[in-house]
Chain A
């Protein structure tokens, strides 16, 4: 027969393709790998230890001190400061509000960003990169400036209210600032570029051929989405959710400005305690609660992704 000119592509490695171990030799090279790993990781780890771990330990230590009414810090070792917010129903409510705000902002943000990220990933338009740049362009402006923008738009005489009143849809301006509504609207918009970026980078796994294969096997568009698109994009969706949740419960500027002092979440309470009342130990205790909240949510996230076998 005549010669074929096609190029052989190696088949995907399966479990049985892995080379057998080489005993001592393998052991030695693995030890060398480990040494290289530590050598390369050391500068970064040292930097993190100095700039992150030490201050964190200092903060945790601070939570065991006692703040005195005159603003002085009593160096001691007590559980009183940590226990105080746990016995005060006000701080339980603040913690719960913080948690709920994080969930609501993350949920709305992810739901709005998901179709955009999906569209941007799939687009074959020549304007694709321009569209992506536009989607993340808000990051070029500081969150403070954007927050002031939202205060203007959402205010009593702002764009939204004046439009609604001109159209006769409302007679009294809606209260959209200085409350949780304003904070949620502002945070959702400010975090959308992050959600879009995280999801787009995670959608790489979504091969359009998979959706075509499902359609050819008789799946209607809705079934293709429910059985193929959504399950395959769920990991990226969950990572975006986690990121936005963490960013919103720790956000301070937007919460403070759009909340106008009427929204009390852990971040604003910590700020008030630390700078207003100069009660550093109590601010540290609230920070520890916030950290625990992070920890709980990350643990839930890990369990969920592992349960769903989505980690691959």
Chain B
């Protein structure tokens, strides 16, 4: 692989000696042109990581390498990053054009070039007509796009987005996702994106770094993180999950590349099928089944494990069930075209063995 655009090497931030570090020996490599989401609950260290990359915060230890060059000790104003803040941080005493021109002014660009680039940046976010407006009069979505234009106009080495969508209402957030992604792809700006919203990360990112307690639990493509989570935390944080205790009974041969099919024993479900890494026979593992992969059969003669419906939630697109099997409740999401079960009904649950995944053993932490 060629030199990564950004490499974080053992990056560590400890706010106070004695306290657990906010970011703990974090290692990550980001490819040129990729949009990488730093995803995790609040307090997981994602914003701290972003601020260290921006140069707004000094790491306690470790290195930040951009294009093969160590920039750890370079001050923020010489890093050439483009940052978009959660609150947008538009300068209230400047109009839209002056906000966008700020970075170019600091780079002492001649006026003609400055005007041209500001115009192009505003056109890119389709807000050219607002150039002379005051920033206070703009809506949240407009402010957000101006902040993006201001960060991109300087052609930053990295685009850093700190929860850029969380101050927008739900509908706008969704359309802005697509817009940010499109602009990012058009400009080819390598982007770090901090979010606590897993949908956002899955939708927009080329790679997702799921963070927890200052560590990256998993770094991979969205589908990989969703389908093949490395830890229980990742499985639960990304999407909804049924996590079952499974004892692996027998190896039933290969399933795709590097994986095996197994017979497993699950309390309440008896003998079922699952896939996982090789060499799990005899081991006990956590088994993940996504709710929409669980099939709900209302016909009492059907195959599968019997359970009692505890609650039903109808959303139009699908029906969500909570079904008690043995002493634990499981989630299932079924299409709305079949019969819809009612609370108290006995249904049978099963799934395609290929969609039940045995998590790798968790490291001691």
Interface residues of A (CB under 8 A from B): 1-4, 6, 8-12, 14-17, 205, 207, 209-210, 212-221, 223-224, 227-228, 231-232, 309-310, 312
A224's closest neighbor in chain B, by CB? B77
Asked whether, in the complex, the Cβ of A218 is within 8 Å of the Cβ of B166, the reply is no
7 contacts between A and B (CB under 8 A): A2-B198, A11-B140, A14-B139, A214-B102, A216-B55, A223-B106, A310-B93
Check if B93 sits within 8 Å of A217, measured CB to CB: no
B139→A212 contact, CB < 8 A: no
Complex alpha-carbon distance, A10 and B198, angstroms: 21
Within 8 A of A (CB), among B55-113: 55-56, 76-83, 85, 87, 89, 91-93, 102-103, 106-107
A2 to B240, CA, bound (A): 6
Q: Which has the most chain B C-beta neighbours within 10 Å: A15, A209, A312?
A: A209
Beyond contacts A212-B76, A214-B91: 12 other A-B pairs, Cβ-Cβ < 8 A, are A6-B196, A10-B169, A11-B169, A12-B138, A12-B143, A16-B139, A207-B87, A210-B91, A212-B89, A213-B89, A217-B154, A231-B93
Knowing A2-B239, A11-B167 touch, does A218 contact B106 (C-beta < 8 A)?
A: yes
Asked whether A8 lies within 8 Å of B138 as measured between CB atoms, the reply is no
Closest-by-CB residue of A relative to B195 is A6
Q: Which of B114-173 contact A (CB under 8 A)?
A: 136-143, 150-151, 154, 160, 166-170, 172-173
Across the A-B interface, the 3 shortest Cβ-Cβ residue pairs? A11-B140, A217-B103, A218-B106
Which residues does chain A contribute within 8 Å of B87, judged by CB atoms? 207, 209
Give which listed residue, A8, A10, A223, A312, contacts B92 with CB less than 8 A.
Answer: A312
Interface of chain B residues 157 through 208 with chain A (CB within 8 A) = 160, 166-170, 172-173, 196-199
* Residue in A closest to B171 when the chains form the complex, CB atoms: A8
A88 to B267, CA, bound (A): 106
Asked whether B89 lies within 8 Å of A15 as measured between CB atoms, the reply is no
Q: Which residues of B contact A310 (CB under 8 A)?
A: 93
Name B's A-contacting residues (CB within 8 A). 54-56, 76-83, 85, 87, 89, 91-93, 102-103, 106-107, 136-143, 150-151, 154, 160, 166-170, 172-173, 196-199, 239-240, 291
Contact, CB under 8 Å: B139 / A12: yes
Decide: B199 and A1 in contact? CB cutoff 8 A. Answer: yes
Q: Which residue of chain A has the shortest Cβ distance to B85 in the bound complex? A: A209
Q: Please, how many angstroms separate the alpha-carbon atoms of A232 and B93 in the complex?
A: 7
Q: CB-CB < 8 A to A215: which residues of B?
A: 55-56, 76-77
Bound CA span A33–B79, Å? 55
**B138 and A14 contacting across the interface, CB-CB below 8 Å:** yes
User: Nearest residue in B to A234 (C-beta to C-beta)?
Assistant: B93
A210 to chain B, nearest CB (A): 5
Pairwise interchain contact A4-B197, C-beta atoms closer than 8 A: yes
Residue of A4, A9, A205, A217 touching B199 (CB-CB under 8 A): A4
Who on chain A is nearest to B147 by CB? A213
Q: Are A15 and B137 in contact (CB under 8 A)?
A: yes
Is B141 a contact of A218 with CB atoms below 8 Å? no
Specify which of B82, B170, B240 is in contact with A216 (CB 8 Å cutoff): B82
Residue of B nearest to A209 (CB): B89
Interface-centre pick from B55, B82, B102 (highest chain A CB count, 10 A): B102
Shortest CB–CB separation between residue B74 and chain A, in angstroms?
12
What residues on B are CB-neighbors of A205 within 8 Å? Answer: 92
Q: Are A309 and B93 in contact (CB under 8 A)?
A: yes
B136, A312: Cβ atoms closer than 8 Å = yes
Find B106's partner among A4, A10, A217, A312 (CB 8 Å cutoff): A217
